[in-house]
A and B are shown apart, each in its own frame.
Chain A
Amino acid sequence: MLSDALLLQLGYNATLVAIGAALLGVSAGVTGTFLFLRKRALVSDAISHATLPGVCIAFMVMVALGGDGRNLIGLLLGSALSAWVGLLCLNWLTRHTRLAEDAAIGSVLSVFFGFGVVLLTVIQTMGVGRQAGLEGFLLGSTAGMLWADAMIIAVGGGATLLLILLLRRPMTLVSFDPEYAAARGLPVARIDLAMMGLVMAVTVVGLKIVGLILIVALLIIPPVTARFWTERSDRVVLLSGLAGGVSGFVGAAISASAPNLPTGPIIVLVSFALFALSMLLAPNRGVLAAILGHLRFQRRVHLRQGLLALAQGQPIYERLTLRLLSRAGFARADGVATELGRARAAKALRDEKRWEVVRADQSHEAAAALYDGLRDIETVLTKDQIVDIDRRIGGPQEVPA
């Protein structure tokens, strides 16, 4: 079943939904990256929750005008409108009151959602059978979706992606270096607004598939996932789009392959699985790599400090230092230096003095800036330079026993 779904063999609608979800995932991943780099990831949470009253009002208006009320385009337009109002409220609160952004996000999110719930109950009382599964917008529902709706989602996903491609250059500039962008004469405020517009577009397109509570996951998780793999901004954008697209496609396919697998949550969980793997395994920024690196680093610090203490005949206070020294064969368990330890201690002390000369000498400023207590001096200076420094220090010195 699952392989059928992944290979788009589950019928026309499921295929359209999967394609739509993949396009949506790519759009969300790319848009989310800009948001993430602007450190405004959770603004999207306010925007998405703020869609609910709009959906309800659109439904009521369409019914009042004698329509069906379930017209997806109408509902999506309504949701976009109220998301926009929510965004304006959020911006106004942070700019014109003392509220910090987090409190403003939380209040817009919860109040709009609360008001939406009130409207939902109003609609429920308008007459049974006409509420038309508006609850589906909360958590997404693609089961039994009309062909036209699936088409709207696929087209919407594609259109959003196209818009992103058009806007990607100015948005990249603004999210990586707003000051530079402003200095180059880019309208930063307007580009920021366009960015939020894209977030809105992604949210609106995603409403039917993932639902308004979980759409924020598609905007946040892929960029965070991508960030583990690279330091280069353009690659974060690409990888994030990829992660989002894969999550969308695989999630939609899994969801179509069996009953009781709601699309939205599955897409989010697939996305999280990618994130968890990345966080654990990524080289450099991954957790395993970081833990190993930290342990290595801590050992280096302790060894170095221990050697310097040995060289100056100072007592060693820390047990970890002592253990590392004796394991390396530099000292006996009682803290007395071995032959090897004395030699290494003398070298450490001498390097320390060499560094001191380097750091006091203006002509070595570049090298001096690299000093961190651990770096081997041979890695920053040439042999000749070291010989020159040694001449200034004087002859070899005894290591106190």
Chain B
Amino acid sequence: MSGEEFVPLSLTPLLIGIFAAVACALPGNFLVLRKQALIGDAISHVVLPGIVVAFLLTGVISAWPMMLGAAGAALLAVVMIEAIRRLGRIEPGAAMGVVFTTMFAGGVLLLEQTDTSSVHLDVEHALYGNLESLIWLDAVGWSSLLDAQALAGLPVELGRIAATLIGVIAFIWLFWRPLKISTFDEGFARTMGIRTNVLGLALVVVAAIAAVAAFDAVGSIIVIAMFICPPAAARMMTNQLERQIAWSIGFATTSAIVGYVFAGYGPLWLGAADAVSAAGMIATVSGVILALTALFGPCRKRAGAPAQA
């Protein structure tokens, strides 16, 4: 394919897809190891009400209020889950189920009640995003990468997800040791002076930010696939956390690229005329990768002494 076609139409969605997948997979590694994978589920469902409320308050569709709204909703959800779990003495899974379904329902109701027909916000969109629409209209080919005027026309989502990815990487890099220690042995981590609850909350907030930034591209449900599938598949490939992270980045990138390409060109190869949902295809590919590692991964089974004596 020529640069004239690829750069304006595919380069930016592809990059956004890759960045979103990696930004979610990185904190996802820790969520999966902490048996908090479903926190990702909860967070991604409450992004919708957060964005809707931000829109209602500000009256505009603009990035920062919506990011704040979604992050606020994620925090609120975590606080509510903890409150129900502790005060009501309800097991965490059920507490999560209560909170995220309710907040999601509230979001849908608000969306239906307000007139958002004039703006770019609808339920379908919120559920499975629109990666294909994030194109770079100002580009004419590879040369545009050096053209300041064309670069100014890059979709804002690209800058946002790139900044988020850098933030996520910085967080993981900076807190690598405490994250690793407290994920493995929380009690010991406390005695080392690590503030485990603050760190745990920070991890959830970082995951929430990643989910919000990825929301544009893939919507609120497919984000879950990015949180869970690449880390889960990576766990089947290695028994070392450092390598697991590397594998998960590889799997996330592969899912994004292969998913995007299949969605865009797969139907053409099969003789159909139109492309299918790229976000959905990315989730599907990540699921196929997970299935392959679950069947053939060298470390797919538990080994050694059981956890309980």
Residues of chain A whose beta carbon lies under 8 Å from any beta carbon of chain B: 36, 39-42, 45, 49, 93, 96-100, 102-103, 105-107, 109-118, 120-122, 125, 135, 138-139, 213-214, 216-217, 219-221, 223-224, 227-228, 260-262, 264-266, 268-269, 272, 275, 279, 285, 287, 290
**Which of A93, A114, A220, A228 has its CB near the most chain B CB atoms (within 10 A)?**
A114
Alpha-carbon separation in the docked complex, A36 to B222 (Å): 26
With A102-B37, A106-B37, A111-B287: A97-B280 Cβ-Cβ less than 8 Å: no
Chain A residue at minimal CB-CB distance from B226: A110
At the interface, yes or no: B260 with Cβ under 8 Å from chain A?
no
Alpha-carbon separation in the docked complex, A212 to B127 (Å): 12
Query: What are 6 A-B contacts with C-beta separation under 8 Å?
Result: A45-B41, A117-B277, A122-B267, A138-B123, A213-B104, A265-B106
B81-93 vs A: 1/0 string, CB under 8 Å? 0001001111101
Nearest CB of chain A from residue B221's CB, rounded to whole Å: 5
Chain A residue at minimal CB-CB distance from B115: A260
Report the tally of A-B residue pairs with Cβ distances under 8 A.
216
Kindly list chain B residues whose C-beta atoms are within 8 Å of the C-beta of A285.
Answer: 88-89
* Contact assessment for A220 and B97 in the assembled complex, using a CB-CB cutoff below 8 Å: yes
* Contact assessment for A110 and B224 in the assembled complex, using a CB-CB cutoff below 8 Å: yes
Besides A265-B106, A290-B87, 17 other A-B contacts (C-beta < 8 A):
A36-B91, A41-B91, A97-B297, A100-B32, A103-B37, A105-B37, A106-B41, A113-B280, A114-B279, A114-B282, A115-B280, A121-B274, A122-B267, A138-B123, A213-B221, A279-B84, A285-B88
Contact residue among B95, B267, B280, B300 (Cβ-Cβ distance under 8 Å from A114)? B280
Chain B residue at minimal CB-CB distance from A271: B102
At the interface, yes or no: B30 with Cβ under 8 Å from chain A?
no
Nearest CB of chain B from residue A356's CB, rounded to whole Å: 32
Chain B residue at minimal CB-CB distance from A260: B112
Contact residue among A110, A214, A217, A260 (Cβ-Cβ distance under 8 Å from B222)? A110
* Contact assessment for B282 and A42 in the assembled complex, using a CB-CB cutoff below 8 Å: no
Alpha-carbon separation in the docked complex, A120 to B277 (Å): 8
* Contact assessment for A114 and B283 in the assembled complex, using a CB-CB cutoff below 8 Å: yes
Kindly list chain A residues whose C-beta atoms are within 8 Å of the C-beta of B95.
Answer: 224
At the interface, yes or no: B302 with Cβ under 8 Å from chain A?
yes
Nearest CB of chain A from residue B276's CB, rounded to whole Å: 4
Alpha-carbon separation in the docked complex, A116 to B283 (Å): 10
Nearest CB of chain A from residue B210's CB, rounded to whole Å: 15
* Contact assessment for A110 and B112 in the assembled complex, using a CB-CB cutoff below 8 Å: no
At the interface, yes or no: B236 with Cβ under 8 Å from chain A?
yes
At the interface, yes or no: B12 with Cβ under 8 Å from chain A?
no
Nearest CB of chain B from residue A355's CB, rounded to whole Å: 29
Kindly list chain B residues whose C-beta atoms are within 8 Å of the C-beta of A45.
Answer: 38, 41, 97
At the interface, yes or no: B249 with Cβ under 8 Å from chain A?
no
Secondary structure class of chain A's binding surface, majority of residues: helix
With A109-B41, A135-B124, A261-B109: A117-B222 Cβ-Cβ less than 8 Å: yes
Kindly list chain A residues whose C-beta atoms are within 8 Å of the C-beta of B222.
Answer: 110, 113-114, 117
Kindly list chain A residues whose C-beta atoms are within 8 Å of the C-beta of B97.
Answer: 41-42, 45, 216-217, 219-221, 224
Kindly list chain A residues whose C-beta atoms are within 8 Å of the C-beta of B282.
Answer: 114
Chain A residue at minimal CB-CB distance from B274: A125
Alpha-carbon separation in the docked complex, A93 to B112 (Å): 38
B268-309 vs A: 1/0 string, CB under 8 Å? 000011111101111110110010001001011110000000
Nearest CB of chain A from residue B256's CB, rounded to whole Å: 13
* Contact assessment for A265 and B301 in the assembled complex, using a CB-CB cutoff below 8 Å: no
At the interface, yes or no: B22 with Cβ under 8 Å from chain A?
no
Kindly list chain A residues whose C-beta atoms are within 8 Å of the C-beta of B274.
Answer: 121, 125
* Contact assessment for B109 and A266 in the assembled complex, using a CB-CB cutoff below 8 Å: yes
**Which of B89, B98, B222, B263 has its CB near the most chain A CB atoms (within 10 A)?**
B98
Alpha-carbon separation in the docked complex, A45 to B98 (Å): 12
Kindly list chain B residues whose C-beta atoms are within 8 Å of the C-beta of A102.
Answer: 35-38, 93
Chain B residue at minimal CB-CB distance from A220: B97
Kindly list chain B residues whose C-beta atoms are within 8 Å of the C-beta of A39.
Answer: 91, 93-94
* Contact assessment for A111 and B283 in the assembled complex, using a CB-CB cutoff below 8 Å: yes
Alpha-carbon separation in the docked complex, A227 to B87 (Å): 13
Contact residue among A49, A112, A122 (Cβ-Cβ distance under 8 Å from B276)? A122
Kindly list chain B residues whose C-beta atoms are within 8 Å of the C-beta of A269.
Answer: 102, 105-106, 109
Nearest CB of chain A from residue B124's CB, rounded to whole Å: 6
